[in-house]
Amino acid sequence: MQDTPTQSDMERDYHAGYARIMWFAEQARRRGWRMSDRQLVHEIRHRERAAQIREKSSLPVIGPEVRSAAWNRGQADALRELLRLQREQDR
pLDDT in tens, 24-51: 999 999 999 999 999 999 999 999 999 9
Closest-CA residue to 47 (of 83, 90, 5):
83
User: What Å distances lie between residue 41 and 3, 25, 46, 57, 81, CA to CA?
Assistant: 31, 15, 9, 24, 11
Does the pLDDT at position 14 exceed 80? yes
| Helical ranges in the chain per DSSP H | 7-30, 37-56, 69-90
The DSSP 8-state label assigned to residue 6 in this structure reads P
Whether the CB-CB separation of 15 and 71 falls below 8 Å is answered with: no
